[in-house]
Amino acid sequence: MDEIPLSALLIVLVVLLAMSAFFSLSETAMMASNRFRLRHLAQSGHRGAQKAISLLDKTDKMLGVILLGNNLVNSAAATLVGVITIALFGEEKWALAVGTLAVTFAILVFSEITPKIIGATHADRLAVRLGYILTPLLRLFYPAVWFINLFASGLLRLFRLTPKSSDGPAKLSPEELRSLVLESSHLMPQKHHAILSSLFELNNITVEDVMTPRGSIEILDLDQEWNEVHAQLATSHHSRLPVCRESLDQLIGVLPVRRLLTNLGDQDFDEAALLQQLQAPYYIAPGTPVFSQLAFFQENRQRIGFVVDEYGEILGLLTLEDIIEEFVGDFTTSLPGLSHELGWSEAGDAIVEGSRALRDLNRMLGLDFPIDGPKTLNGLILEHFQDIPESGTSIKLAGVAVEVLQTQDRSVVTVRIFRPETT
């Protein structure tokens, strides 16, 4: 031992600690890397990503070569520290104890904690480079790795913990995929993120949440004077109109208004010609999930349907545009004088229509109105009073101060909402 200089032993020790740090960094970086991003890079032709994905698809063998190298190096480093300690202080027990503590400290700080933090922080950038090094190492030590994994697999089978073979990338549940999208908000434009987030909500909301309530549906009443029917067709902002007699309870069909624009000026255009253009109404159960209804519209080339309850009474109108706007945002032309935008004024209040959907109010104003019952603010107020409140009446709903400004017939027309105080 006197033939080997102490300086050479110290250099070897530093090299062993560096090798241990490399294996620790490799283990953490490979396991913490984003496999979806690596697969995307691999499909784009990135060689490093392809090698990394190949290693991650054989996790047991990859970990086998990493842990084999790490444990061999750590054992060699501990033995070398013992040799150095004996060379410096002899076989004193206290010296061996101090040497053991010193090498443990060095391994923890320089070969475990620090490289693992670096590996976890820069996992994606390191994984595509480590693939070039770990791949030949696995080929070189494959017999040893195979022999070690033989015993490890036997032990797992003994405890009935044999991992299931997986084909392709790991499958994510809808909730996990939604969390992945939410956590990736800084990686995509805000509009794209909002659309993707809204898509995950389509299975949790029903057609009642997005339909146009019955009281807000524009109808074409054939019992009115024909010149009034003609004028309504000429000025309607809708591409389709429900046609009925007196009320929606006597619905006849749906009229595609655009098809009649060229016929409105004809002298022979009458009620019989209009009735020939009607389409049969389509009815929807109120509890139908929005996503299922969207799929039905697409498969059957439908664009409009009427939501009915168990007694056949029409509750509202649902169009394809209503569903699309739910996750894309408002894009259709609104009626003159009306705006879909909503926000708090400088005084801390907002004046809204009673027909506003509670979900819209919660989203636009950051409120927490309950949505498991009535779907509109008017419905929530009527449920609270069990009657039509008078103008000027103020109440608190879900901790939010609300003042009724105007009522008409059997509904609340406009309401002032006061911004709740934040605690």
Can you spell out the DSSP letters for 379-414? HHHHHHHSS-PPTT-EEEETTEEEEEEEEETTEEEE
What pLDDT is stored for residue 126 in this prediction? 92
What pLDDT is stored for residue 187 in this prediction? 61
What pLDDT is stored for residue 176 in this prediction? 65
Kind of pairing, strands 400-408 and 247-256? unpaired
What pLDDT is stored for residue 1 in this prediction? 45
Cβ proximity of 51 and 132 under 8 Å: yes
What pLDDT is stored for residue 133 in this prediction? 92
The Cα 321–Cα 317 span in angstroms is 11
Please give the span between the terminal C-alpha atoms of the chain, in angstroms, as a whole number: 73
What pLDDT is stored for residue 385 in this prediction? 84
Looking only at Cα atoms, what is the longest distance across the chain? Answer: 119
What pLDDT is stored for residue 181 in this prediction? 65
The sheet carrying 240-245 orders its strands as: 220-221, 240-245, 247-256
Residue 306, beta-bridge partner list: 283, 317
Give tens-digit pLDDT for 203-217: 678 888 888 888 778
Cβ proximity of 205 and 290 under 8 Å: yes
What pLDDT is stored for residue 334 in this prediction? 44
Give tens-digit pLDDT for 365-400: 888 888 877 878 888 888 888 888 888 888 888 888
Task: Give the helix/strand (H/E) hosting 251.
Answer: strand 247-256
What pLDDT is stored for residue 184 in this prediction? 65
Residues of the chain with pLDDT under 70: 1-3, 162-195, 197-198, 202-203, 265, 329-341, 422-423
Residue 243, beta-bridge partner list: 220, 253
Q: Which domains does the chain have, with CATH numbers?
A: 6-158 (no CATH), 207-328 (3.10.580.10), 349-418 (3.30.465.10)
Q: Which of 66, 40, 57, 20 is nearest to 124 (CA)?
A: 40
Contacts of 320 (CB under 8 A, 6+ apart): 294, 297, 302, 303, 304
The Cα 22–Cα 70 span in angstroms is 8
Cβ proximity of 215 and 355 under 8 Å: yes
Helix (H, G, I), strand (E, B) or coil at 116: helix
The crossing angle, in degrees rounded to 10, of helices 47-56 and 59-89 is 90
